[in-house]
Amino acid sequence: MKNRIFFKLLAAFLIVIAAAAATLDLVVGGAWEASLRTEIERNLTQKTLLFAHRVESDHTRSLAEIVAQEGQAAGARATVIDASGKVLADSESNLSPDENDAGQAEFAAALKGETSSSERRSENVGIPFLYVAAPITGGAVRLAYPLSDIQAVQAEVHRRMFWGLAIALVIALLVAATASVITARRLERIVDVAARIERGDLRARVDDPSVDEIGRVAVAIDRTAGQVERSFAAVRSSQRQLETLLNSMQDAVIAVSADGLVQWANQPMDRLVPQRTRLNAPMVETIRDPDFLATVKAATATKRVCTGRATSIVPGRAYDVTAAPLPDGGAVAVLRDLTETERVEKTRRDFIANVSHELRTPLTSIQGYSETLLDSIPENSGHNRDFLEIIRKNAARMSRLTEDLLTLARVESGETRFEPEPVPPIELLNDAEESFREIARGQGVELQIDGVGKNGQKSTTASLKAPDLPSGDGSVESLPQVLADREAIHQVFSNLIDNAMKYGRSGGCIVLGARHAPRGIEFYVQDFGAGISSEHLPRLFERFYRVDKARSRESGGTGLGLAIAKHIMLAHRGSIRAESELNHGSTFLFTLPFA
């Protein structure tokens, strides 16, 4: 690095020195030479004028003497000519009878009465001369000054400039070497600190106090390193907190990369598998359950939360698997042990089923004997008949409750086996409408199928539908078949229609219908009664949940009808929900998959 910086600095210095020298030579040298020539011409002109004056005024000496003295005094060649151009006297050559200088530019101008100058190379000597001529009476005088002195001075200037360049080059070498060493050491310090930061030493600092550009770079690196150190410390702290939190969980957690390698696992996961989890090893080496692997793979591929059930991780134990995608690929999976929960749930269902079964016989006896006594007691028997009627009603209600409990327990436990088969939606709707048509009319309620009237005519009840419930695309008869157990779906319709008649009879109409949905056919039962408040909607399908408890008991409801409908739909791999608004009726909707 030092050598590279040295040569770069040296090249820069050489370019600057050469540029300065060339500039001086062109600008200063040219100006100096022009100034010198102007000064020589001015002095020579003055001497020429003095020479002309002496030639005209000095009559004590011969013309040859005057020419010799003036030439020696001026350091130039002195010449005198007459009006015809004939040389009368010359300080440096013998006169020739044929020599005539009237054709010289300076003499031609002087013979016209003007002081003139010119510059040319002498044919005899071969060096340039500066000629200045002045007029005199009957001729002209001229001084010729050799310009070889200027060339000598220029050569001396160039020689001294060369030595100056040599000295500047030496100084540049020393400065470049010193600057390169200092700069290289500072840059190597910065590079070393950057390498240490790259290796993980976030406490490394440059600590350069200079205020130049390199110092500013060092300060920026130190600040960046400090910020990275603080951020990394915060990340490490968050990571330790997260690890502590995950290790304190009872559920097993494992993180998997996009290529199926184990990235992290908490302590419950290590205790779950006998061989313990190995980081950066394929996940299949840790957990071989196919359902678990399929759930994690689905979450990684679809970038959505997926759930599943694993039963072969540990013999005799069942786990609920929830896999969620990670932002950078892969997934994190949580395994919750459901063994004890399912055992308790099974015990509860068995208890409810057993108690309900045992209660059926005494309740039937109580109901039968109370009815027999009612038949044998006269109408005017007073309070005795009222008491027997109360006993009969409560026995009947308890009988319905036990029947619903038994049904719910059998559906939840899977004891009730459904037999789904392809069924046209219109048949399910017709079965429900035929079964409850007369019952509804007896309560003053009209029961209709949306989109289909009697004899296949279009129904006009669509106008009674809520605005947020659009009609199906096409007629109900054209909807594709669904996969359903006829009796189970009839029971769902029975529970929903029964609720609609109890709580929505004030609307005077109940509408049944079906339409396309993203994952199947959506059936609905709509009433136009008082509606249900929004805070009750999430809990409608819980056991024994009632919106109006007093009214529900008065109408003979058990609070289990919607729970039974929910579990029937879950067994059909469908869904059920409710939509309602106060004073605008209620709509219960359930979806069945396509056949």
Are both 390 and 471 inside the same structural domain?
no
- Cα distances (Å, whole numbers) of residue 148 to 35, 151, 153, 158, 568: 16, 5, 9, 15, 124
CATH number at residue 87: 3.30.450.20
Six-digit token string for 114:
């003007």
Rounded Cα distance, 321 and 336, in Å: 7
Q: Please give the helix or strand (H or E) that residue 121 lies within, else none.
A: strand 116-121
Rounded Cα distance, 508 and 200, in Å: 77
Last residue of a domain, one of 285, 316, 337: 337
Rounded Cα distance, 181 and 204, in Å: 23
Six-digit token string for 246:
């995950």
Strand partners, 484: 421
Number of domains in the chain: 4
- Domain hosting residue 144, numbered range: 2-152
Q: Which long-range contacts (CB under 8 A, 24 or more apart) does 460-463 make?
A: 461/509, 461/511
- Cα distances (Å, whole numbers) of residue 228 to 204, 233, 339: 11, 8, 46
Are both 406 and 498 inside the same structural domain?
no
- Cα distances (Å, whole numbers) of residue 211 to 5, 217, 218, 285: 20, 10, 10, 58
Query: Could you report how far apart the first and last alpha carbons of the chain are, in Å?
Result: 76
Last residue of a domain, one of 94, 120, 152: 152
The 8-class DSSP code of residue 485 comes to: -
Are both 531 and 455 inside the same structural domain?
yes
Are both 272 and 363 inside the same structural domain?
no
Q: Does residue 87 fall inside a structural domain?
A: yes
Helices 383-413, 561-571: axis angle to 10 degrees equals 20
Residues 6+ apart with CB under 8 A from 225: 193, 197, 202, 203, 204, 205
Are both 257 and 294 inside the same structural domain?
yes
**Tens place of pLDDT per residue across the chain (595 aa):** 556 766 777 777 778 777 777 777 676 666 767 777 788 888 888 888 888 888 888 888 888 888 888 888 888 888 888 888 888 888 876 656 556 777 788 888 888 888 888 888 776 666 788 888 889 888 898 888 887 767 777 777 778 777 877 887 788 777 877 777 777 777 878 888 888 888 888 788 888 777 777 788 888 888 888 888 888 888 888 878 877 877 777 788 888 888 888 888 888 887 777 777 778 888 888 888 888 889 888 988 888 899 888 888 888 888 888 999 988 888 988 888 888 777 777 776 677 667 666 777 787 788 787 878 777 777 766 677 778 778 877 777 777 777 767 777 777 666 677 888 999 999 999 999 998 888 888 888 888 988 664 444 444 444 334 334 444 445 788 889 999 998 989 989 988 998 888 877 777 889 999 999 888 999 999 998 888 888 888 888 887 777 765 555 555 566 777 888 888 888 888 899 999 888 888 999 999 999 8
Interval 267-296: pLDDT, tens: 888 777 777 777 888 888 888 888 888 988
Are both 389 and 494 inside the same structural domain?
no
Are both 347 and 404 inside the same structural domain?
yes
Are both 440 and 395 inside the same structural domain?
no
pLDDT at 482 (0 to 100): 92
Rounded Cα distance, 119 and 50, in Å: 20
Q: Does residue 199 fall inside a structural domain?
A: no
Compute how many other C-beta atoms are within 10 angstroms of the C-beta atom of residue 116.
22
pTM above 0.85, yes or no: no
Are both 127 and 267 inside the same structural domain?
no
Pairing of strands 509-517, 446-449: parallel
Compute how many other C-beta atoms are within 10 angstroms of the C-beta atom of residue 210.
12
What is the Rg, in whole angstroms, of the alpha carbon atoms belonging to the chain? 59
Strand partners, 334: 253, 322
Are both 7 and 103 inside the same structural domain?
yes
Six-digit token string for 182:
């200092």
Q: Where are the beta strands (DSSP E) in 122-244?
A: 128-136, 139-146
Rounded Cα distance, 6 and 185, in Å: 12
Closest-CA residue to 323 (of 332, 310, 336, 314): 332
